[in-house]
């Protein structure tokens, strides 16, 4: 949760002076979450990569896309996950697949 608060601060819009909260779209994260968003469409993409153990193993890729409605003060009014992938390998849906 602490990392989401820091991320929200980084996503602050200088033009509007609003800091947008970022909902967590999946329960686990391993070493950080990549985030991309489009305020105009209300779309949010998140991705994390987790080790599956051992040398030479392929990582677990967890990626999600959601429709998010933010209030004027930047708090989340609603978030609906459109899709969530949880696969072992090196490929995963990039932000363009959501935004």
Question: Could you list the pLDDT tens digit for every one of the 99 residues in the chain?
Answer: 444 444 444 454 444 588 999 999 998 888 799 999 998 999 999 999 999 998 889 999 999 999 999 999 999 999 999 999 999 999 999 999 999
Predicted local distance difference test score (pLDDT) of residue 29: 81
Q: What is the pLDDT of residue 91?
A: 95
Place of tokens 């080790």: 51
Largest separation between any pair of C-alpha atoms in the chain? 47
Residue 69: give the domain boundaries: 2-97
Which residues, at least 6 apart from 80, have a Cβ–Cβ distance to it below 8 Å? 66, 67, 68
Q: From 25, 98, 96, 37, select the one nearest 62 (Cα to Cα).
A: 25
Question: DSSP label at 29?
Answer: -
Question: Does the global pTM surpass 0.95?
Answer: no
φ and ψ at 70, to 5 degrees? -100, 140
The length of the chain is 99
The encoded tokens of residue 75 equal 């708090």
How many structural domains compose the chain?
Answer: 1
- Taking the C-alpha atoms of residue 96 and residue 66, their distance in angstroms, rounded to an integer, is 13
């Amino acid at each position: 949760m602490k990392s989401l608060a820091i991320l929200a601060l980084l996503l602050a819009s200088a033009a509007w002076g609003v800091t947008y909260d970022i909902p967590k779209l999946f329960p686990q994260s391993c070493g950080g979450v990549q985030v991309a968003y489009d305020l105009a469409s209300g779309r949010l993409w998140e991705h994390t990569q987790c080790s599956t153990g051992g040398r030479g193993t392929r990582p677990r890729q967890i990626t999600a896309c959601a429709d998010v409605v933010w209030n004027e003060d930047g708090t989340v009014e609603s978030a609906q996950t459109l899709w969530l992938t949880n696969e072992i390998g090196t490929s995963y849906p990039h932000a363009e697949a959501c935004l």
